[in-house]
Amino acid sequence: MLHHKSLIVFDLDGTLFNTLGDLAVAVNFALRHFGLPEHDEQRVRTFIGNGSMKLIERSMGEAALPENIARTGVTVEMVHKVYSDFYWEHCTERTLPNPGVVEFLRNTTARVAMLTNKPERPTFKLLEHFHLRDRFEFVLCGDTTPERKPSPAGLLKIMESAGVSPAETVMVGDDQPDILAARNAGVDCVTLLCGFGKPVNLLPLAPENVVESYAEMCELLCSLTR
């Protein structure tokens, strides 16, 4: 059973924001630039998790295999660079906060942090666009955290900086890296089944605090931080 928490650490993609529209457009722009097959939004959704380099590698499919890279000269890093530049320019065009998230962040009295595998530039651009940057006491991103999730290093650094214990902290996320980072850090995790992570991949990890909607997430977090 969950007890009172003083620090909430949020994931970003799929947890706080529905970023799929902008991610899919950027992925397909980069794939098209190199003459690679494109994907619909729902297919791109299955590639999300573990950072943008993994997103591009999965999106490239067989084109990312070493033998095909040797044949074409098109590397994952090259496609990722085109993707990243385009995404940075357009990352706020189709992205929206998930239902109830902004209201919760503005009303909660708990301390709030963010731990995301997303790079720092688009992360801060999104937070500033939605006027939420000042709401987060600590923000660690894929290129600023000591190690990306599922490593516990980012959570441990945030807790050390905040001066709070694992028992006072809760991680909120929607995919395997969030569950595993929290578990590896000895922190409770609230797991969303309506985000980008597939329930078929999440449930075998036996997450202890599962919510099926953003309304349920906000209600649970309110109860933990009163």
Residue 158's pLDDT is 98
Q: What is the mean pLDDT of residues 40-49?
A: 95
Range 60-69 average pLDDT: 98
pLDDT at 213: 97
Q: Is the pLDDT of residue 1 over 80?
A: no
Catalytic residue IDs: 11
Task: Determine the pLDDT at residue 29.
Answer: 98
Report the pLDDT averaged over residues 56-74. 98
* 140-144: long-range contacts, CB 8 A cutoff, minimum separation 24: 140/113, 140/114, 140/115, 140/116, 141/116, 141/117, 142/51, 142/52, 142/116, 142/117, 142/118, 143/119, 144/120
Structure tokens at 189: 């995790």
Measured CA distances, 75 to 30, 66, 151, 161, 183 (Å): 12, 9, 26, 38, 34
Give this prediction's pTM.
0.95
DSSP H/E element including 138:
strand 138-140
Read off the pLDDT of residues 175-199 as tens digits, 9 standing for 90 and up: 999 999 999 999 999 999 999 999 9
Instruction: Give the three-state DSSP class for 106.
Output: helix
How confident is the model at residue 226, as a pLDDT?
Answer: 87
Burial status of residue 71 (CB atoms within 10 A of its CB: 0-12, 13-18, 19 or more)? exposed
Q: What are phi and psi of 144, to 5 degrees?
A: -125, -15
